[in-house]
Each structure stands twice: as C-alpha cells, then as structure tokens.
Amino acid sequence: KPIRISTRLFSLLFAGTFVPLFFIHVTILKAVKLSDSSNISLRDILSEVQKTIAMESLIFGGLAIFITFLVLQNLKQPIKEIIRVLTHIRKGNLTERASIYSNDEIGFTGDVVNAMTEELLEKEKMSHSLNLAKEIQQSLLPQEDFYSDSIDITGTSIYCDQTGGDYYDIFNSDKADSNFISTVISDVSGHGISSALLMASLRASLWFRK
C-alpha cells in the first residue's frame, strides 16, 4: 500500500513536536509529585527539572534533525532522478529510465515518466518506419517528367500523412511506331499504411499488364 507524502510529513510533525512535549509534561508531573512527597527544596527540584528538560531537548532535537534529514533525502533523491530522466528526454535521449523505489506519489510519478518514455520511444520508431515507407512509396511514382514532340507531362504528389493512397503514372507504348501514351490517376480511400499497400498492389498490377 502506498505511503502518502502527507502521512510522512505528519509523522515527522508528530515525532518532532508532540512526543517531546509529552516527555516534558511527564517530567513536570514527576517534579510536582517529588515536591509533595520529599523534603527537597524547590530550587533543587527546579534545577533537576531544568537539567532533564535540557537533556530531553538535546535528544529530541538531534532526533528531529536526523529524521528530517532522512525525509529530505527520501524526497530529494527521487525528484533528482526524475529531473535527470526528463533532461535526457528533452535532449532526445529516450533510453534513460528513472530508478525510483519509493512507495508514494513520487514513485508513481517515476513510473508515469518511464511509461511516457516507452511510449515516446515506440512513437519515434513508428515515425521512422512511416518515413521509410514514405520514401519507398515516393519511389514508386514517376521519377522523371514525360516529354515528347506533341506533349509534355509532369506531376507530383504531396501526402497529408507520411503515407497515403494517391497514385499517378505515365506509360509510354513499347512499340516503336506507336504514339499512344497511357496515364493513370488514382486515390485510394483513407490514409496511412493500408491505403499505401493497396496503392502499391494497384501499381504492381498495372505494370504487370503493361
């Protein structure tokens, strides 16, 4: 079960405030009881109480400083680790992961940062694959404009996504005495990989029948 940061801080407040006050209260009660049941002078009792309270103050003051140091380290180290990973992410390095083992909100934040980094890495890989697919698909389109004595044909295709289903091509007859030129313009419904694959299949079919 996660230990909330607020729980830790309230525990620190309790240990550093209420516990010392409780012991001081017990010391005063003992002094009052001692004054009622003995012949010790009030000055001696007050001196003994002062020494006891001073000693308790030193003990609990040192304990409070030690516990505060532990809590600060427990909070500071995970935050520094998260900042380190976020700095790498800002620089484009998505291989770093936050090593946080605290069972609180900061530990949960570290898990979220790691999950976000994994998603960013997957998206980067996907983007790289789509850009590669775009280059391949663009290579399937005519690489040179068509020029002849009677007609000039040029064209271009700009996709709204990395890949798409837009396709055009120009076929010149292989026969030496033929003046026929065939052109094709198509637009596959949708966008993305599925449309690009259908476009590639169409091109392969047309070139096979050419």
pLDDT at 108: 83
Report how far residue 205's alpha carbon sits from residue 100's, in angstroms, rounded to the nearest whole number: 56
pLDDT at 23: 82
Q: How does residue 174 score in pLDDT terms, banded at 50, 70 and 90? A: low
Nearest in space to 93 (alpha carbons), one of 123, 126, 120, 132: 120
Tell me the pLDDT tens digit for each residue of 4-56: 777 777 777 777 778 778 888 888 887 777 776 666 676 777 787 788 888 88
Tell me the pLDDT tens digit for each residue of 177-201: 556 777 888 877 766 777 777 787 8
Q: Report residue 47 CA to chain centroid gap.
A: 60
- Looking up tokens 């729980």 gives 7
Tell me the pLDDT tens digit for each residue of 109-129: 888 999 999 999 888 888 887
pLDDT at 48: 78
Report how far residue 193's alpha carbon sits from residue 94's, in angstroms, rounded to the nearest whole number: 25
pLDDT at 2: 56
Start-to-end CA distance of the chain, whole Å, equals 69
Across the chain, where does the E strand assignment appear? 146-147, 152-153, 166-172, 181-187
